[in-house]
Amino acid sequence: MRSPPRPPSARAPASLMQLRMPPMKSAMNKRKLKESTGESAECISQVQKILRERFCHCRAAGKLFGMKQQYSHLLELLRRTTVHGESNSALIIGPRGSGKSALLNHVLKDLREMNQVRENLLEVHLNGLLQTNDKVALKEITRQLQLENVVGDKVFGSFAENLAFLLEALRRGNRSSSCPVLFVLDEFDLFVHHKNQTLLYNLFDISQSAQTPVTVIGLTCRQDILELLEKRVKSRFSHRQIYLMNSFDFKEYMKIFKKQLSLPAEFPDEAFAQKWNNNAQHLSEDKTVQDVLQKLFQHSKDLRSLHLLLMLAVSAVSVHHPLLTAADLQEAHRQQSSDSRANIVHGLSVLEICLIIAMKHLNEVYDGEPFNFQMVYNEFQKFIQRKAHSMYNFEKPIVMKAFEHLLQLELVQPLERPSARAQREFLLMKLLLDSSQIMEALQLYPNCPTDVKQWAASSLSWL
């Protein structure tokens, strides 16, 4: 006998519960996922901000490597200016990427955090690449000191009078209560080429006088910088020189890598910072990463190269890819070491590729001697006749147009500036690509015809 069926009312609650429960769980899961995604997105944004600031603005993380003595010297020099009102001048000398700007920024940061240092240190930052003459430099000094309204329409007889007026406007009573001014001259060697070195003379002259406390710090990569100074300028310079050299070994280089990639202790999300820093530790122990950094270290000890590598790698970090991997660093190194000229070849037409191959063969046959368009055209014609290909049989004006395009792309360079009367076909040129670059570019060229590749690979030209 069958058991009597349950009334519908008894089954309804169970079925309703079964229908309702999954949506509730789904909604909760989505909410949790949304919250975690929001948190990680905020963390990723903070990571990108902190590391980009560090890599792009020479803001070193932690202590500086191999600069303890230089750091102490510069810190004491600037402390005496800000605390005691002493005037000084010094040069920071070292190769590009040795940490000159990082050292100065680190010292200024620590200087501002000292209790006995007044907060009214005025900084004027000039760059020889931007302030190309004394007039532009003086205008920038006025702007950074915020004295445009004080100067107004006043007319000064000389540069020295104008600069003296600016510093006089900053004075407050005696020397000890006057506002100290720090002048930072980046690319210092370019200021040497200003007319009569007037800017340098006046800045060094003021730094020796007992008026406004002024310190001048120059940053340069020229070892012979003192020999470029005029006698009157050199006599007013204090001859303090701080030398920086990339003297660290690969073991210290790996420590720098880990430190530069690590997040600070004050990062908002402590758990994420711990996870990120643990990942940085694992990366520094990874054999693949060490191989990448070894190649970079052997090529250049320049820390800016390391910063660029890390910048490219960090740009791959996202919400869905929150931690760096060895593959990210490999890809960043590949992008960093890619040949820009060879990359241009990937976008050329087959005709332009053929002309480059013709030039390559001419370089091999004539041992790197210059060539002209007519020689390249003749070489190209021999290839067409040998292969009997009608698809490559272009008229001479079209081939000339392709050749001129290579000239515009700076893959080919004329030996001298062409005159109006010179015939274009007979101007002497040289190819700016070597054989290895051409062959490597052809391997990556999309759908390159087989016979063109074979022609490029052949060691002798058909002469």
Amino acid at the residue 384: I
CB 398 within 8 A of CB 340: no
pLDDT at 178: 67
Q: For the chain, give the mean pLDDT.
A: 80
CB 78 within 8 A of CB 117: no
Q: In which residue are the tokens 């070994």 written? A: 249
CA distances from 158 to 68, 140, 141, 149, 170 (A): 42, 17, 15, 19, 19
CA distances from 403 to 358, 374, 420, 432, 454 (A): 11, 11, 19, 14, 22
**Alpha carbon 18 to chain centroid distance?**
60
Which of 86-95, 151-160, 170-179 ranks highest by mean pLDDT? 86-95
Cα torsion for 340, 346, 347, 348, to the nearest 10°?
A: 110
| Better pLDDT: 83 or 182 | 182
Amino acid at the residue 200: L
CB 276 within 8 A of CB 48: no
219 pLDDT above the threshold of 90? yes
Residue closest to 321 by CA, chosen among 276, 284, 277: 276
pLDDT at 385: 82
Q: What percent of the chain is predicted at pLDDT more than 70? A: 81
Provide φ and ψ at 119, rounded to 5°: -85, 0
Q: What is the pLDDT of residues 228-263, one digit of tens each?
A: 999 999 998 988 999 988 777 888 888 888 988 988
pLDDT band at residue 190 under the 50/70/90 scheme: very high
Q: Retrieve residue 441's tokens.
A: 């570019």
Q: What is the pLDDT of residues 378-400, one digit of tens each?
A: 988 888 887 656 667 788 889 99
Cα torsion for 444, 445, 447, 448, to the nearest 10°?
A: -110
pLDDT at 32: 45
| Better pLDDT: 448 or 88 | 88
Q: Would you say the C-alpha torsion 391, 392, 394, 398 has a positive or negative sign? A: positive
pLDDT at 129: 92
449 pLDDT above the threshold of 60? yes
In the chain the domains, ranked by start, together with CATH numbers, are 68-243 (3.40.50.300), 250-337 (no CATH), 342-457 (1.10.10.10)
57 pLDDT above the threshold of 80? no
Distance between CA atoms of residues 439 and 417, nearest Å: 30
pLDDT at 18: 45
Q: What is the pLDDT of residues 7-38, one digit of tens each?
A: 544 444 444 444 444 444 454 444 444 444 44
Prediction pTM value = 0.62
Distance between CA atoms of residues 67 and 176, nearest Å: 31
Dump the DSSP string for 242-270.
EE------HHHHHHHHHHHHSPPTT-S-H
1 pLDDT above the threshold of 60? no
Average pLDDT over residues 357-370: 87
Comparing 44-48, 197-201, 310-314, 457-461, the range with the smallest average pLDDT is: 457-461
345 pLDDT above the threshold of 90? no
pLDDT at 46: 87
CA distances from 342 to 65, 116, 407 (A): 37, 57, 15
pLDDT at 116: 57
CB 324 within 8 A of CB 339: no
| Better pLDDT: 112 or 358 | 358
Q: In which residue are the tokens 């420590």 written? A: 255
CB 149 within 8 A of CB 166: no
pLDDT at 30: 47
Distance between CA atoms of residues 225 and 93, nearest Å: 9
Average pLDDT over residues 413-425: 73
Question: Quick one: 423 exposed, middle or buried, by C-beta within 10 A (0-12, 13-18, 19+)?
Answer: exposed
Q: What is the pLDDT of residues 285-341, one digit of tens each?
A: 999 999 999 988 888 777 888 888 999 998 888 888 888 999 999 888 888 877 677
460 pLDDT above the threshold of 90? no
Distance between CA atoms of residues 177 and 129, nearest Å: 34
pLDDT band at residue 155 under the 50/70/90 scheme: low
Q: What is the pLDDT of residues 71-110, one digit of tens each?
A: 999 999 998 888 888 888 999 998 887 888 888 988 888 8
Q: What percent of the chain is predicted at pLDDT more than 90? A: 14
What is the length of the chain? 463
Q: Retrieve residue 47's tokens.
A: 């990571």
Amino acid at the residue 272: F
pLDDT at 73: 92
